[in-house]
Amino acid sequence: MGTTASAYLTGFGRYLPGDPVDNHGIVARLGGDDPVTARIRGMILDQNGIRQRHYALDERGEPTELNEELAVKALRAALDDRGIRPDDLRMLATATTIGDVLVPGFASMVHGRLGGGPMQLLSASGVCASSLQALDAAVGKVKLGEHPRVAVVGSELASRSLRQRRFDGIRAGMDSHFLRWMLSDGAGAVVVEFQPHPSRPSLRVDWVRHVSLAHEHDVCMRAGMDGLEPEVGRTWQDVGIGDAEASGMFVLRQDVSVLDDLAGAGLREFEQLVDIGLVDVSHLDHVVCHYSTNAFRDLAFDGLRKRIPTLDTDRWFSNLETCGNTGAASIFIALEEAWRTGRFSPGETILLAVPESGRFSFAFAHLTVVAPPDQQGAPT
Amino acid sequence: MTTDTAATATTTDAAGAASPAEPAALSERLAEVWAELEERLDRVPILRALAEGTVTIDDYRRLLFNLRQQVVDGSPWISRAASNFDIDHFTLRAAAIKHAEEEHRDYLMLERDYVAIGGSLDELRAGRKNLGSEALSGYMFTYADRPNPVGLLGAMFIIEGLGAKRAAGWAARFQEVLGLADNQVHFMTYHQEADGAHTGDLQAILDSGIIDDAAADEIVRCAQVVARLYALQLEELDR
């Protein structure tokens, strides 16, 4: 095994479109003002605990920006934060659930809009955990010494699938309401480099892990098909677009009955990381966890505390309540805020945790805060 | 060393045309040149910073940038020397041709390392030689223009010696201090192997009995000049 470089997060950025929308402002954008929907919405908002979020929709519910624009704005913020330009990048890894267009890949569109020079691209597609899959690819390339600088962005424009026109005339069960009043738009980005930031602390990426349990679980979160199994000739690409819309295939749905299983499986994956020594619970200082709703916050927090008795709420960070659930963007949006607000000090360690309901997958990353080189001792 | 003696210095394939120099004596004289070079290298700022662990990624980038401007000339001056060995120096001509062929893509490895640590290939290729590189390259080309430039074996002794004995150590230390991947230090690590083979070839020539006293003097003189100019190249980064 040869010698590899290290990978450091040296720049952080996020972009949340428009003004924050509080719980009363949702209806103007997404619709759903009938009494039944209003009652369900109220119930779900009580559960998920989200107080405000952002939509790339104007007050009449019309789109204001493309997903790729959100991504580019978050990337520019991260590059500015690091003090570099798109020309300095050699690779771009993007994560999103649904891009703006069917073809080409999201990363191609983001690169085209961002500019810069020739670079390697990766479009990670999936749901929430695709963020850390993109990060993993970037970190791997940096550690191999193949790229000195890579940008990673998670970006979501879910509101298109949540607007009233998607729901007109379709039977919307809890499987769609749950997501409709939970998801929102935004983008978060990081810069990954083989050297730490020259003059301020950086986050060294110690490892990234991703695991899928799709081999033993049905689909949980989905769009583009009827039911939980895709059928030949019955996906959104096979039936007429009008039929697909009428049967609600463009609505994001989630099988809420298996979410407890998802939380349990996620905790087992975490325990495994502890058991094999990747997470040293006696030296874990912070947890930044993505979860879709506060109902899972307590479940996850209690589960983690079983193995980390010292974990208290001060060491636990999420901005779900103020930034909403932005899917693949959320972990970077949370990390950016935790970083910017000074939660981390050199020497501390951070666990990022991202469960993905799509078809049961989980991603984790372990970070260590490092001081800038001029404040470290010389190696001997 | 005067040009007179240079003109009469010979190593020929026709053994016995001149009395061969004592190989052990030549090796000792070259070892002295080497020891002096090592002392000087210890005082070169970038190498001191490397040893002390205070070297920065910019230092490594500068070093590659500066070396590249001279490394691209390596194969050309060896080729020029090859073309100036007459048929009586067939062994040296053959060795020079082989060596030039082996080295003429080396700079690409350096360029890859430079890009891998974030440098711009366009800027690297648009770079100019520093003061030391100008002197070193100018000397090598001028020397290679002479008929039968046997003294260049002394230049090889220094340059290949640096590759074989020092470059890999520098690479390892840069990796240790700056956390670099193998992919970012190809040029320096490769030279340990390649130049190890070259110094073996060189030693075989020096030991073969085809070097007479005058040629031995030329070889030592050339080694001294190249040692000084190589160190100058490392001292005069970016100037």
Q: Is residue A285, in this structure, part of any structural domain at all? A: yes
**Same domain assignment for residues A151 and A72:** yes
Residue-level pLDDT at B106: 87
> What's the pLDDT tens digit per position in B168-211?
999 999 999 999 999 999 999 987 777 677 777 788 887 777 78
Residue-level pLDDT at B9: 52
- Closest-CA distance, B33 to chain A, in angstroms, reads 30
**Same domain assignment for residues A177 and A207:** no
From CA B152, how far away is CA B220, in angstroms rounded? 9
Q: Is A4 on the interface with B (CB under 8 A)?
A: yes
More confident site: B22 or A322: A322
Asked if B177 lies within 8 A of A88 by C-beta distance, the reply is: no
Q: Is residue B33, in this structure, part of any structural domain at all? A: no
**Same domain assignment for residues A237 and A103:** no
Where residue B3 falls among pLDDT bands split at 50, 70, 90? Answer: very low
> What's the pLDDT tens digit per position in B31-83?
999 999 999 999 999 999 999 999 999 999 999 999 999 999 989 999 999 99
Of the candidates A137, A167, A193, which is a domain's last residue? A193
Q: Is residue B210, in this structure, part of any structural domain at all? A: yes
From CA A267, how far away is CA A257, in angstroms rounded? 18
**Same domain assignment for residues A367 and A233:** yes
**Same domain assignment for residues A56 and A131:** yes
Spacing of C-alpha A36 from chain mean position: 31
Q: Is residue A46, in this structure, part of any structural domain at all? A: yes
Q: Is residue B23, in this structure, part of any structural domain at all? A: no
CA angle in degrees (0–180, nearest 5) for B208-B211-B214: 165
- Look at residues A226, A217, A242, A70 and name the one whose alpha carbon lies nearest to residue A155: A70
Q: Is residue B18, in this structure, part of any structural domain at all? A: no
**Same domain assignment for residues A63 and A107:** yes
Mean pLDDT by 10 residues, chain A (380 residues): 91 98 95 91 93 95 96 98 98 97 97 97 96 98 97 97 88 87 97 96 98 96 91 94 91 90 93 93 92 85 84 87 97 98 96 95 98 67
From CA A155, how far away is CA A294, in angstroms rounded? 22
ω into B147 cis (within 30 of 0): no
Q: For position A139, which CATH number holds?
A: 3.40.47.10
Residues 6+ apart with CB under 8 A from A138: A7, A91, A93, A122, A147, A150, A151, A152, A192
**Same domain assignment for residues A136 and A218:** no
Tell me the DSSP string of A224-279.
SSSSSS--TT-STTTS-HHHHHHTTTTS-EE-GGGHHHHHHHHHHHHHHHHHTTSS
Q: Is residue A82, in this structure, part of any structural domain at all? A: yes
DSSP state of A159: G
Query: What global pTM score does this model have?
Result: 0.90
From CA A217, how far away is CA A236, in angstroms rounded? 22
**Same domain assignment for residues A366 and A267:** yes
| Interface probe with A: pick from B50, B54, B183, B188, most Cβ of A within 10 Å | B183
Where residue B93 falls among pLDDT bands split at 50, 70, 90? Answer: very high
**Same domain assignment for residues A162 and A16:** yes
Q: Is residue A379, in this structure, part of any structural domain at all? A: no
From CA A179, how far away is CA A53, in angstroms rounded? 13
* Residue-number span of the structural domain to which A236 is assigned: 202-372
Contact between residue B215 and residue B149 where contact means Cβ atoms under 8 Å apart: no
Q: Is residue A378, in this structure, part of any structural domain at all? A: no
Q: Is residue A1, in this structure, part of any structural domain at all? A: no
The predicted model gives B119-136 an average pLDDT of 96
Residue-level pLDDT at B205: 82
Minimum Cα–Cα distance from B49: chain A residue: A378
Asked if B53 lies within 8 A of A148 by C-beta distance, the reply is: no
Query: How many distinct structural domains can be found in chain B?
Result: 1
> What's the pLDDT tens digit per position in A194-228?
999 999 999 999 999 999 999 999 999 999 998 88
Q: Which residues of A touch B116 (CB under 8 A)?
A: 145-148
| Interface ipTM | 0.84
Partner-chain residue, chosen from A143, A149, A379, that has the shortest CB–CB distance to B181: A143
Query: How many distinct structural domains can be found in chain A?
Result: 2
Burial of A344 from C-beta contacts in 10 A (0-12 / 13-18 / 19+): buried
From CA A119, how far away is CA A39, in angstroms rounded? 49
Q: Is residue B189, in this structure, part of any structural domain at all? A: yes
Residue-level pLDDT at B103: 84
Residue-level pLDDT at B2: 38
Residue-level pLDDT at B5: 38
Q: Is A88 on the interface with B (CB under 8 A)?
A: yes
Q: Is residue B31, in this structure, part of any structural domain at all? A: no
Q: Is A379 on the interface with B (CB under 8 A)?
A: yes
* Residue-number span of the structural domain to which B152 is assigned: 63-235
Where residue B221 falls among pLDDT bands split at 50, 70, 90? Answer: very high
Tokens 């890949």 appear where? A105
Q: Which residues of A touch B183 (CB under 8 A)?
A: 144-146
**Same domain assignment for residues A143 and A221:** no
Residue-level pLDDT at A312: 81
**Same domain assignment for residues A355 and A224:** yes
**Same domain assignment for residues A139 and A220:** no
Q: Is residue A341, in this structure, part of any structural domain at all? A: yes
Q: For position B217, which CATH number holds?
A: 1.20.910.10
Q: Is residue B41, in this structure, part of any structural domain at all? A: no
Residues 288-347 (A) with a CB less than 8 A from some CB of B: none
Contact between residue B42 and residue B187 where contact means Cβ atoms under 8 Å apart: no
Q: Is residue B25, in this structure, part of any structural domain at all? A: no
Contact between residue A281 and residue A305 where contact means Cβ atoms under 8 Å apart: no
